[in-house]
A = this chain, B = another copy of it.
Amino acid sequence: MSDRPTACMLLIGNELLSGRTKDANLAYIGARLNALGIRMAEARVLPDEEDVIVAAVNECREKFDYVFTSGGIGPTHDDITAACVAKAFGVALERNVEARALLLRNYSSAAELTEARLKMTEVPAGATLIENPVSHAPGFQIGNVFVMAGIPRILQAMFEGITDRLRGGAPMLSRAIGAAVPEGVMGGPLADLQSRFPDVEIGSYPFKRGAKVGAEIVLRTADPARLAEAAKAVRDLVTSHGVEPEETESGESGPI
Show the binding face of A for B, using Cβ within 8 Å. 13-24, 26-32, 34, 40-48, 52, 74-78, 112, 114-117, 119, 151, 172, 174, 183-188, 190-191, 194, 201-206, 215, 218, 220, 250-252, 256
Contact = CB atoms under 8 A, between A and B. Distances in A.
Contacts of A75: 183-184, 187
Contacts of A46: 42
A201 B14 contact: yes
Contact of A187 (B30, B52, B77, B218): B77
Copies in the complex: 2
A207 to B, nearest CB: 10
A187 B22 contact: no
A247 B218 CA distance: 45
Contact of A77 (B14, B27, B151, B190): B190
Interface core residue of A21, A78, A251 (most chain B CB under 10 Å): A78
Nearest to A119: B187
B26 A16 contact: yes
Given A18-B30, A114-B185, A117-B187, A202 B78 contact: yes
A21 B29 CA distance: 12
Contacts of A18: 30-31, 34, 40, 172, 174, 220, 252
Interface core residue of A32, A115, A191 (most chain B CB under 10 Å): A191
Given A117-B187, A187-B119, A40 B17 contact: yes
A107 to B, nearest CB: 9
A9 to B, nearest CB: 8
Contacts of A187: 75-77, 114-117, 119
A29 B45 CA distance: 14
A188 B19 contact: no
Nearest to A19: B31
B116 A185 contact: yes
Interface core residue of A29, A74, A174 (most chain B CB under 10 Å): A74
Given A19-B27, A19-B251, A76-B190, 7 more contacts: A16-B27, A16-B43, A18-B34, A18-B172, A22-B27, A75-B184, A116-B185
